[in-house]
Structure 1
Amino acid sequence: MTRPTRRTVLGLAAAAVAGAAGLRPEVAAASSPGASHGWATATLARMTLEEKVGQLFVTYAYGATADTADQRNVTAYGVATPAEVVAKYKLGGVIYFAWTDSVANPPQIAALSNGLQRAALAVGTKVRVPLLISTDQEHGVVFRVGPPATQFPGAMALGAGRSVADARAAAAIAGAELRAVGVNQDYAPVADVNVNPLNPVIGVRSFSSDPNLVARLTAAQVIGMEADGRIAATAKHFPGHGDTATDSHTGIPTIDHTREEWERIDAPPFRAAIKAGIDSIMTAHIVVPSLDPSGDPATLSKPIMTGILREQLGYDGLVVTDSLGMAGVRQKYGDAEVPVLALEAGVDQLLMPPRMDIAYDAVLAAVRSGRISEKRLNQSVYRVLRLKHRNGIVARPMVDVAAVSSVVGIPAHYATNQRISDRTTTLVKNAASLLPLASGPRKILVTGYGVATTQTLANRLAARGATTTVRQTGATPTDAAITAAVAAAQSHDLTVVLTMKAWDTLVTDKQAKQQKLVKELLATGRPVVVVAVRDPYDIAYFPEAATYLATYSYADVSMESLAKVLYGEIAPAGKLPVDIPAAGDPSKILYAFGHGLTW
């Protein structure tokens, strides 16, 4: 049992847990391991087969409130409102996205959460089971709840900062803010080790290419989110998505690590997460022949999900699939077979099946026919129920909408975020000793990626006395935009150009336009500072740049940290959490893990 172990290690008595989490002592006491087992077992015994199957599913519904009628719900589910979606399938969980109109602002999210919980609690005639309400709040480049919620710079920035305490603090704040709006499960942290610089889907979502660093920061975020923030964390994507050049949203990646390489590279963060008491683990839609030669994606692999995760690693917590609508899990089997195979493999919850009616009916039929035994079904439902009780969701399913503003985006959280961010900016190259900038007026051109990002940085520089001009060119600048930016650079004292995955020419050659922009700016002979605001690998494609920094994030807080570094208000403290190889030659390392200049 991983959960009691974590609590023993942390030495958290019920009253201490209540104080840290803002829970009443009686709620924390009711969430003890023994109480959770008793409630889960008793509840399971009273559930109908349909109610049990419903607990296995997590999906989305369209609408800003539980009672919002939306034709998209009718099309997808045959009912109009989110509350009706919950009731129809007796859902175990829901997931929030911006495109489902679920996350407009914190009070709206909290009210929606309460409405959906009321719908869930009204489902059963003999049982009352609240929802797991989840979202992907990784921070950095993947987040669902935007400002005023605190926006941290993300995993790889934390990897550059190297601080276990900062990783825990960020997760604690993220957890507390999500809990305040009724989200009780975060699909984070990312435990993948990004050893492939050409990885199109993970990149800065990973802490590092170093397994030990990823393991330390993953464990810290598990503890911060669960022990401090009091929501369920989810380590993803098991057995490790860090060494792929294929995006599992659009294809099925194959990881060619040997078993020894998997043990050395991919396994340590998941082992650390389990040791820290991780509440849930998300699967990866990847093929790993050394772990299962069948060619099945890990999500559907019993040798991986049961043989390795359950038996070898000893994990008895909740396992949830990545989205079942992704191509990586749909290419080999049909939409009716995939959820059944996932359960047979050892998974507990099925996330976002592309056709809910088909998936729900397929699982129900598999249990009724005996293909999935009721004992096997009960194992997964028990894990779902146990987690809900342990995390206090059963005792307190609702949140106080009026109290949201006292938790979400408060000044103390913003200040902590800025302190953390200030320790992450990495100065990779300063060959011309251009930095730090001397005080005094100057004309600065800010160009490159991001309408909001370029303007935010320009505002920060203007606040320090610069006269700024913005020439935003985007991730795929046109020749006309490049020409305009280069012309503007001629009349400015300094140009700061922001790049965003300028290395990524795998899918389209349009990204090469960013490389062209930087090269033409450098060719002017005017002072140029190049800043990678996402993956740090970009400099491999314009090594002639004399001044290069990596922020790993284009969040506002990262631009403030960048401005501080440019002006010497703080010294750059970040160290590369990955190697930067030469373009086209991964064996040649331009800048090694741990590199970082300062003054």
Structure 2
Amino acid sequence: MTTRLARTRPRRIHALAVPLAGLLAVAGTGIGIGTSASGSTPDANAMTALDAAAQQTLHGLTLEEKVGQLFVTWVNGKSADEVNPKNQTDFGVDTPAEVVRKYHLGGVIYFNNDSRDNFDTPTQVAKLSNGLQQAAISSGAHVPLQIGTDQEGGTVTRMGAPATEFPNSMAIAAGRSTTSATQAATIIGHELRAVGINQDFAPDSDVNSNPANPVIGVRSFAGQPELASQFVTAEIKGYQNSGRPAETVSSTAKHFPGHGDAATDSHTGLPRIDRTEDEWRKIDVPPFKAAIAAGIDSIMSAHIQFPSLDPSGEPATLSKPIITGKLRGELGYDGVVITDALEMQGVRELHSDAEIPVLALKAGIDQLLMPVHLELAINSVISAVKSGDLPMQRIDQSVLRVLKMKLKRGILTSPFNNPALVAKKVGTPANLATAQGIADRSITAIANDAGVLPLKQKPATALVTGWGVASTQTLADRLTAHGTKATALQTGQAPSDDLIAQATEAAKNTDLVVVLTNNLGGFPLQNKLLQALMATGKPVVAVAAQIPYDAGYANPVPTWLATYGYITPSLEALAKVVLGETKPSGKLPVDVPAGADVNTVKYPFGHGLSW
């Protein structure tokens, strides 16, 4: 059981403490309040108690406190009391704790980028989480926070090493083991909860049916709905049903109604999906149906136009026909629906920042993630309620869903973590070994026409070139660790003639050349590099270090491997395959077309060589 820290517990005991003692007794097994042992069928008695406890809390909240529960935002800083000038700019206060208290926030989201960085060490994150929970409980609402992050694995990883890092979703699906998916999600969820993060905005439940998709790609499990559905279900089991409520996290299936066919990045524009409604049901719906059947706590909306589902042109986030009609009505989902980030251009293309939150709530959304101007957004909702434009019933409905999710996940009963235990739970040797095993099963041999692999003998030297400063160096380090002295020469996505010449010259003095590519279709100069290196006569292994579709664009390259990402475990797995210490066992989770000709499949779904 998660240890509560006496020094951080507020003097005022949360109003639900007594009712929740009975609620936990009803739940019994600790698998999750309101779920059966399978995690899929709610127990009627527990759900009744859950509803009653949520109603009790709701009735104690003012309008402002209710509206605060509907918002999730970033905060600036690595401790709750850190004075960060960005908080004044963004929120009009100095510290993360003051942001939480001022707005009675329902949730916060952690980031690890240059402009918003909440991560230093796992222990530091645990202390930050405790400080923010203290602020929430001591604010007017007295309701602990939903603390979330995007920990999908691979490309989208917020809490990196020394926490356990897992490959991208597509890499896990390439290994074809749903057990591995559940193991990965279990470890991710337990490590997040150990540092006070109680919601993971994962798994990505999109079917990546468009090879040119600029924002989903390897974040998706597969290009076919059946395989994607199996892995979505497996990960939800790991996130939500792998322990007591205080050990698990709320999972979030994203991005409804399906972002997999987009040709535009919704961060920078408004994608339009031109599938028919029947195609949508066949391709995009199955993973979300599977998520709902698995008892998913929350679903995230997409900022995409889907004319066959709503001809008005509204993005799905603001579309009542899509959110209330399709998700709530047709699919029968009654859990929390949260928007994708409201600072993204896809949702801001047609409406002002003041209009967006009100329109989202009218559409059937429950939580509003990362509005550009938090105070404006909150005031817009409050004004809409006071004017009668938004009925109070609509607000109460969403607040109840949020409270029930917090109750179900044990957030209201166990909001604090114990920083002293973090090192024993995060990045453990057993967890790291599991992650490496999953990565080892993901490497896919797409082509081996010249019989370069397996190598007849271990090379004394190797050149690692192509895309990525960190990725080329990491792979060179891993090859060296396995007995082949390797050097790195990064040439980037658009290698210049000078860099190509340098790589070609370096190749002449080595036994093996490994070339990492990333989005060869969008950056074709990488193909020029490949051709120049093959002309040296040296054995060349090309590696799709992100999307496997690169193998369809090359002219001709006889040896192709795919890693579906470039985290260290994936590059370690690659090094072992290249040097013959392990055999590739991955199978393509997508069709790889012949370059831009999406109607011609060069390497089909399920393809994968071994030796």
Global fold match (TM > 0.5):
yes
Q: 1:63 aligns to what?
A: 77
2:97 aligned to 83, 97, 119, which one?
83
Residue correspondence of structure 1 range 206-355 to structure 2 within 5 A: 206-228=220-242, 230-355=248-373
Residue correspondence of structure 1 range 154-169 to structure 2 within 5 A: 154-169=168-183
Q: Shift of residue 183 of structure 1? A: 0.5
Residue correspondence of structure 1 range 166-181 to structure 2 within 5 A: 166-181=180-195
Aligned equivalents of 2:462, 2:228: Cα separation in 1: 37
Q: 1:572 aligns to what?
A: 584
Q: 2:127 aligns to what?
A: 111
Secondary structure of residue in 1 paired with 2:250: coil
Amino acid at match of 1:105: T
Give yes or no for the alignment of 1:589 onto 2:601: yes
Q: Shift of residue 474 of structure 1? A: 2.5
Q: Is 559-568 or 571-580 further displaced after alignment?
A: 559-568
Give yes or no for the alignment of 1:139 onto 2:139: no
Q: Shift of residue 17 of structure 1? A: 2.6
Aligned equivalents of 1:237, 1:198: Cα separation in 2: 17
Aligned equivalents of 1:312, 1:261: Cα separation in 2: 16
- Contact 2:32 2:409 survives alignment (8 Å): no
Give yes or no for the alignment of 1:97 onto 2:111: yes
- Contact 1:435 1:566 survives alignment (8 Å): yes
Change (3 A) 1:427 1:317: same
Secondary structure of residue in 2 paired with 1:530: strand
Q: 1:22 aligns to what?
A: none
Runs of 4+ in structure 1 off by over 6 angstroms are none
Q: Is 34-43 or 159-168 further displaced after alignment?
A: 34-43
- Contact 1:56 1:348 survives alignment (8 Å): yes
Q: Shift of residue 36 of structure 1? A: 2.2
Give yes or no for the alignment of 1:519 onto 2:531: yes
Secondary structure of residue in 1 paired with 2:31: helix
Q: 2:570 aligns to what?
A: 558
- Contact 2:458 2:579 survives alignment (8 Å): no
Amino acid at match of 1:15: T
Note the alpha carbon deviations across 1:7-32, whole angstroms, 9 max, x for none. xxxxx97335389xxxxxxxxx9x94
Note the alpha carbon deviations across 1:62-96, whole angstroms, 9 max, x for none. 01111111111101111111011111111000000
2:543 aligned to 511, 520, 531, which one?
531
- Contact 1:259 1:291 survives alignment (8 Å): yes
Change (3 A) 1:86 1:496: same
Aligned equivalents of 1:80, 1:381: Cα separation in 2: 27
Aligned equivalents of 2:120, 2:46: Cα separation in 1: 35
Q: Shift of residue 334 of structure 1? A: 0.6
TM-score by length of 2: 0.91
Amino acid at match of 2:238: G
Q: 2:402 aligns to what?
A: 384
Q: 1:543 aligns to what?
A: 555
Change (3 A) 1:340 1:483: same
- Contact 2:110 2:148 survives alignment (8 Å): yes
Mark the runs of 5 or more structure 1 residues left unpaired by the alignment.
Answer: 1-11, 20-28, 506-510
Aligned equivalents of 2:228, 2:483: Cα separation in 1: 39
Note the alpha carbon deviations across 1:425-476, whole angstroms, 9 max, x for none. 0000011111112344422111112222212211221223212121112233
Q: 1:37 aligns to what?
A: 51
Q: 1:461 aligns to what?
A: 479
Amino acid at match of 1:69: V
Q: Is 246-255 or 445-454 further displaced after alignment?
A: 445-454
Aligned equivalents of 1:584, 1:74: Cα separation in 2: 48
Aligned equivalents of 2:286, 2:459: Cα separation in 1: 50
Note the alpha carbon deviations across 1:295-339, whole angstroms, 9 max, x for none. 000000000000110011010000000000111000111110000
Note the alpha carbon deviations across 1:136-173, whole angstroms, 9 max, x for none. 00111111111011110110001211111111110000
1:150 aligned to 151, 161, 164, which one?
164
Aligned equivalents of 2:430, 2:456: Cα separation in 1: 31
2:416 aligned to 389, 394, 398, which one?
398
- Contact 1:33 1:390 survives alignment (8 Å): no
Aligned equivalents of 1:13, 1:51: Cα separation in 2: 28
Residue correspondence of structure 1 range 429-440 to structure 2 within 5 A: 429-440=447-458
Amino acid at match of 2:128: L
Aligned equivalents of 2:480, 2:91: Cα separation in 1: 51
Aligned equivalents of 2:291, 2:231: Cα separation in 1: 9
- Contact 2:553 2:596 survives alignment (8 Å): no
- Contact 2:167 2:569 survives alignment (8 Å): yes
Note the alpha carbon deviations across 1:570-599, whole angstroms, 9 max, x for none. 221100011111122111111000100011
Aligned equivalents of 2:535, 2:306: Cα separation in 1: 45
TM-score by length of 1: 0.93
Aligned equivalents of 2:288, 2:588: Cα separation in 1: 22
Q: Is 94-103 or 290-299 further displaced after alignment?
A: 94-103
Aligned residues: 571
CA RMSD for the aligned pairs? Answer: 1.7
Secondary structure of residue in 1 paired with 2:505: helix
Note the alpha carbon deviations across 1:507-540, whole angstroms, 9 max, x for none. xxxx233222222212222210000110001122
Change (3 A) 1:449 1:32: farther
1:122 aligned to 128, 138, 150, which one?
138
Secondary structure of residue in 2 paired with 1:498: strand
Aligned equivalents of 1:329, 1:82: Cα separation in 2: 26
- Contact 2:32 2:408 survives alignment (8 Å): no
- Contact 2:459 2:511 survives alignment (8 Å): no
Aligned equivalents of 2:278, 2:411: Cα separation in 1: 40
Q: Is 279-288 or 521-530 further displaced after alignment?
A: 521-530
- Contact 2:446 2:551 survives alignment (8 Å): no
Amino acid at match of 1:194: N
Aligned equivalents of 2:322, 2:189: Cα separation in 1: 29
Amino acid at match of 2:406: K
Give yes or no for the alignment of 1:14 onto 2:40: no
Note the alpha carbon deviations across 1:415-434, whole angstroms, 9 max, x for none. 11111111110000011111
Change (3 A) 1:90 1:313: same
Q: 1:198 aligns to what?
A: 212
- Contact 2:195 2:419 survives alignment (8 Å): yes
- Contact 1:62 1:82 survives alignment (8 Å): yes
Residue correspondence of structure 1 range 353-372 to structure 2 within 5 A: 353-372=371-390
- Contact 1:292 1:301 survives alignment (8 Å): yes
- Contact 1:438 1:567 survives alignment (8 Å): no
Q: 2:491 aligns to what?
A: 473
Q: Shift of residue 116 of structure 1? A: 0.3
Note the alpha carbon deviations across 1:179-225, whole angstroms, 9 max, x for none. 00000000000000000000000000000101000001001111110
Q: Shift of residue 482 of structure 1? A: 1.8
Aligned equivalents of 1:440, 1:330: Cα separation in 2: 55
Aligned equivalents of 1:490, 1:512: Cα separation in 2: 23
Amino acid at match of 1:108: Q
Note the alpha carbon deviations across 1:546-587, whole angstroms, 9 max, x for none. 110000010110111111211222221100011111122111
- Contact 1:581 1:591 survives alignment (8 Å): yes
